[in-house]
Structure 1
Amino acid sequence: MDLKVLSQLIAVALTIGLTLLIGWVADKALQRIAARHPETTVWPMLRRCRIPLQFVVCLGLLLANAPLAQLFKTYAADVRQGLLLALIASVGWLVNRVLAAVLSAVFARYREVADDPSRVQRVRTQVNLLRRATGALVGLITVGAMLLTFPEMRALGASLLASAGVIGIVAGIAAQNTLGNFFSGLVIAFGDLVRIGDTVVVEQQQGTVEEITLAYLVVRLWDQRRLVVPVSYFVSRPFENWTRADPHTTGSILLHLDHTTPVPELREEFRKLLVGSKEWDGRDWGLVVFDSTPSTIVVRATMTARNPDDAFTLKCRAREELLAWIRDKHPGALPRVRTGQ
C-alpha cells in the first residue's frame, strides 16, 4: 500500500478516534455538572446532544484536513462538497437539539416552582409551539445555508432578489391558509386561548385538547376519537373552553317529578349523596324547584366538581341515585299522567 494512502487512512482513523474521545469527555463533564447541580435539569437534557456534537467535530476535522478528499483525488471537489453539506446539516441538528433541551429545562423548572396548574398548562403549550417554531426556523436556515454552498444557487439568488417583491406577493397569496394557521398558532400559544389539557366544545362535541401544533389542534373526544381542527378555527369562530381560567366546574341535572314530591327530603338525600361522593369538591351545591307545569314540577340539582370529567360522572350518579331513592321511598312522586273521568 502506498505510504501516502496509509497516512491518510491513519488520519481518518485518528479523526474518528478523537471525535469519540471528545464526545465521551463532553458526556462525562455533563454527568458531573448534573450531579453537582441536581436542581438544574438542563445538563442531563444536553447529554442528548452528544451524537450531533460528534458529527460536527468529526466532519469539521475531516473537512479541515481533507484526508478523505485526498483519498479520492478524482472526486476531491465532490467529497469536499459532501463533507460541507453534511457539516451544515449536523450543525443545524446540534442547534435544534440544544434549543429543545433548553426549552424543556425551562418548562421543567417552571413546573416545579409554579403552584397554578392552569399557568403550567399555558407555559407547556407555549413551550411546545415555540419548540416547533424554532425547529422549523433552524431547518429553514440550514437548508438555505446548504443551498448557498453551490455557486449556481448563489448566482440564482442574486438574480431572484430583483423580483423578490413579486414572488413574495405570489407566495403569500398561494400560502395564505398556511400562513394564517401559523400566526393563529402563535396567537393561541401566547394569547392563552387554548392550552393542552383544556376541556373544549368544538362543533357541538366535547373533548380534551391533546396536541397543539402551528397548523392544527387535536381534540380527544370522550369515545377516544380524535377531532383534528385547524388552529385558525379557534381564532375566527366562537368555541367553549371550560377550563381556561379554572378547571372547577358546576354541573346540573333536571328531574321532572309529581307535585306531591317531598322536596326538603329530596334535598337532604341529595346532600348526603354529595358528601359520600369523591367527585364532589365541597364548594357548592343546591336543589330547588326550577319550574312547574300543570302535571309536574321541575327540580334542578346543582353540584360543583374539580374538573368537567368529575362533573359528568357526578351528574350521572346523582340522577341515577335520586331516581332510585324516589322510586323506593316515594313512588308517588314519580310523574304520572292524570286522566279525567
Structure 2
Amino acid sequence: MTETFWGPWLAFGIAVVVAVIGAFLFTFIVAGIVKLALRKRPWGKMFVRYARRPFRAFVLIIALWIAIDGFLPLGAAGGDDASHTMWDTIIDRTGGIAAIAAATWLLIELVRFGTELALGHYRIDVPDNRIARKIRTQVLILRRVAIVIIVIIGFGAALLTFPAVQTFGTSVLASAGIASIVAGLAAQSVLANMFAGVQLVFSEALRVDDVIVAEGEWGRVGEITLSYVVLDLWDDRRLVLPCTYFTTTPFQNWTRSGSELLGAVELDLDWRVSTARMREHLKEVVAATELWDGRTVVLQVTEATGGYVRVRILATAKDAPTLFDLRCHIREEMVAWVRRTNPDALPVQRVLLTDGAGDASGDHVRHEDPTPTGQTEGLFSGSADAEARAAQYTSAIPVVTDGEASDRDPR
C-alpha cells in the first residue's frame, strides 16, 4: 500500500528534477551556441545579456509544465474523474499563462535590445547631433509603443486561456468594435497626451536634447514619453509638461534646424562715446575668446533718444549656453573698457538749475506770446494758417461762436 502511494510521487519528483536540470542544460547549450555564433559581433554580449534571463524562465516553465502535466499522480491522491479533470485544467491554464508571461518578457527584452543597439550608433554628446537627437527621440517613443502593444497582446492571449472570456479576449484583439472605443476615449486627457506624444516625435517639432523656451523657462528636453515631456532647466530644476501643451501652445525651439544662435548686448551710453574705438575693441574681445564661433559680430547705434545713445552688439555662438556666456563676457569687457578709456561716455543725467528771477547776466530771453490770447501756436490752432488747416477737418461740423451761443441760450 505504501509503495503504491509513494511510487507515483517519487516518479513525479524525479520528473520535476529532470525537467529543471534539462532546462538549465538546454539554455546553457543554446547560450554557448549563440555566443560562438556572435563572437565576432560587437553586440553579441549585449544580446545574450538581454535575452538570457527571460529565455531561461520560458524554457524552465515549459519543462515544468510538461513534467507536472505528465507525471502528477492525481490517481494516487484519490478523487473521481471530475476532480482529475479540474486539476488538469488548472495545470494547463497556469502553465499557459506562465508561458505567455515569460514569452512577453522575452519579447520586451528583445525590443529593448534592438532599440539600445540602434541608439548606440547615434551619439548625442557631439556638437552636430541634430540627426542623432531625431533618431533617439523616435526610437524611444517606438520602444514605448512596442512595449505597450506587446503587453496588451500578452494580456489578451492570457484571457484566451479562459473559455468563459474567450469572446471578450477575441474582441479585444480582433473586433472592430475596439476601434470605436479607442476613438471615443481619444478625447480624454490620457489618450490625448499619448497621441500628442507620437505626433510630436514624428513631426520633429520636439526632440530629446532640444533647447526650448516654454512657460517662460529655458531648458533642454530631457525626456519625451507618451504622456509628458520633462525639461531640464538651466538651474537644475525639472519642468514637467503634458504632451498636449506642445501641440496647442506656441513655444520656442532654439535647436530646430541647428544649434547656432545670434545674441544681442545693449548698452545705454552718453552721446560722447566713440563708437569707432568701441567697435575696434569689440573685435579684439571676440577674437580673444573661444566662445565666439567666428560667424558674425556687429556693433550698431540703434537709438539716440532720451539723452542716451543705445549701442547694440550682435554676436554668434555655437549653441545657447555658449551664447549666454559670450553675451556676459562681451558686456563685462565693454563696460570695463568704457570706464577705463572713455569715462565721458558713462551714462549721466543733466539737471539745469535756474532761479525764478531770471538770468543775472541779462542774457535771459523772454518769450513773447505768439497770439493775443497767450495760446502757443500749434499745428491746428494759434495762427490763421493753423485754423485754416483745422477747418479742413471740421468744416462739416457747425461751429458756434460765443455770441451765437448766448443768443440761443434761453437763460
| TM-score between both structures, scaled by the size of structure 1 | 0.89
Structure 2 residue 212 is matched with structure 1 residue 210: no
1:164 Cα offset (Å) = 7.3
Letter in 1 for 2:60: C
SS of the residue 1:250 aligns to: strand
Structure 2 residue 205 is matched with structure 1 residue 201: no
Match of 1:304 in 2: 316
1:115 Cα offset (Å) = 9.8
| One of 231, 236, 239 as aligned partner of 1:224 | 236
Instruction: Give the whole-Å Cα distance in 2 for the aligned partners of 1:255 and 1:78.
Output: 82
Instruction: Give the whole-Å Cα distance in 1 for the aligned partners of 2:69 and 2:229.
Output: 50
1:69 Cα offset (Å) = 7.2
SS of the residue 2:277 aligns to: helix
Letter in 1 for 2:30: A
Structure 2 residue 86 is matched with structure 1 residue 80: no
Match of 1:151 in 2: 163
Match of 2:68 in 1: 66
Verify the 8 A CA contact 1:288 1:300 in the aligned structure 2: yes
Structure 1, 137-146 or 176-185: larger mean CA deviation:
176-185
1:14 Cα offset (Å) = 2.0
The verdict on how the C-alpha distance between 1:86 and 1:211 changes in structure 2, with shifts beyond 3 A counting, is same
1:71 Cα offset (Å) = 5.7
Letter in 2 for 1:255: L
Structure 1, 98-107 or 131-140: larger mean CA deviation:
98-107
Match of 1:254 in 2: 266
1:43 Cα offset (Å) = 5.5
Please identify which structure carries the higher helix content. Answer: 1
Verify the 8 A CA contact 1:12 1:67 in the aligned structure 2: no
Q: How do residues 28-67 of structure 1 correspond to structure 2 at under 5 angstroms?
A: 28-38=32-42, 41=43, 44-66=46-68
Verify the 8 A CA contact 1:56 1:91 in the aligned structure 2: yes
Describe the superposition over 1:129-165 as per-residue Cα deviations: whole angstroms up to 9, x where unpaired.
000000011011111111121122125557999x974
Match of 1:181 in 2: 193
SS of the residue 2:301 aligns to: strand
Letter in 2 for 1:261: V
Instruction: Give the whole-Å Cα distance in 2 for the aligned partners of 1:37 and 1:155.
Output: 46
| One of 252, 274, 288 as aligned partner of 2:300 | 288
Instruction: Give the whole-Å Cα distance in 2 for the aligned partners of 1:174 and 1:243.
Output: 31
Instruction: Give the whole-Å Cα distance in 1 for the aligned partners of 2:247 and 2:53.
Output: 40
1:284 Cα offset (Å) = 1.5
Letter in 2 for 1:277: T
Verify the 8 A CA contact 2:157 2:169 in the aligned structure 1: no
Match of 1:240 in 2: 252
Letter in 2 for 1:24: F
Q: Structure 1 unaligned segments of length 5 or more: list them.
A: none
Instruction: Give the whole-Å Cα distance in 2 for the aligned partners of 1:158 and 1:129.
Output: 27
1:90 Cα offset (Å) = 0.6
Instruction: Give the whole-Å Cα distance in 2 for the aligned partners of 1:175 and 1:51.
Output: 40
1:229 Cα offset (Å) = 0.8
Q: What do you get for the CA RMSD once the two structures are aligned?
A: 2.8
Total equivalences in the alignment: 337
Instruction: Give the whole-Å Cα distance in 2 for the aligned partners of 1:167 and 1:17.
Output: 47
SS of the residue 2:290 aligns to: coil
| One of 16, 20, 24 as aligned partner of 1:16 | 20
Verify the 8 A CA contact 2:65 2:91 in the aligned structure 1: no
1:228 Cα offset (Å) = 0.8
SS of the residue 2:348 aligns to: coil
SS of the residue 2:121 aligns to: helix
SS of the residue 2:151 aligns to: helix
1:7 Cα offset (Å) = 2.2
Instruction: Give the whole-Å Cα distance in 1 for the aligned partners of 2:200 and 2:45.
Output: 30
Describe the superposition over 1:225-256 as per-residue Cα deviations: whole angstroms up to 9, x where unpaired.
11111111111221110001001111111111
1:67 Cα offset (Å) = 5.2
Verify the 8 A CA contact 1:30 1:47 in the aligned structure 2: no
| TM-score between both structures, scaled by the size of structure 2 | 0.75
Pick 1 or 2: higher relative contact order, CA cutoff 8 A, min separation 6: 1
Verify the 8 A CA contact 2:16 2:67 in the aligned structure 1: no
Letter in 1 for 2:334: L
SS of the residue 2:296 aligns to: strand
State the identity as a percent.
Answer: 33
Q: Structure 2 unaligned segments of length 5 or more: list them.
A: 78-82, 354-411
Which structure is larger by alpha-carbon Rg, 1 or 2?
2
Verify the 8 A CA contact 1:196 1:212 in the aligned structure 2: yes
SS of the residue 1:123 aligns to: helix
Verify the 8 A CA contact 1:69 1:77 in the aligned structure 2: no
Instruction: Give the whole-Å Cα distance in 2 for the aligned partners of 1:317 and 1:68.
Output: 80
| One of 17, 27, 30 as aligned partner of 2:31 | 27
SS of the residue 1:281 aligns to: coil
Structure 2 residue 141 is matched with structure 1 residue 129: yes
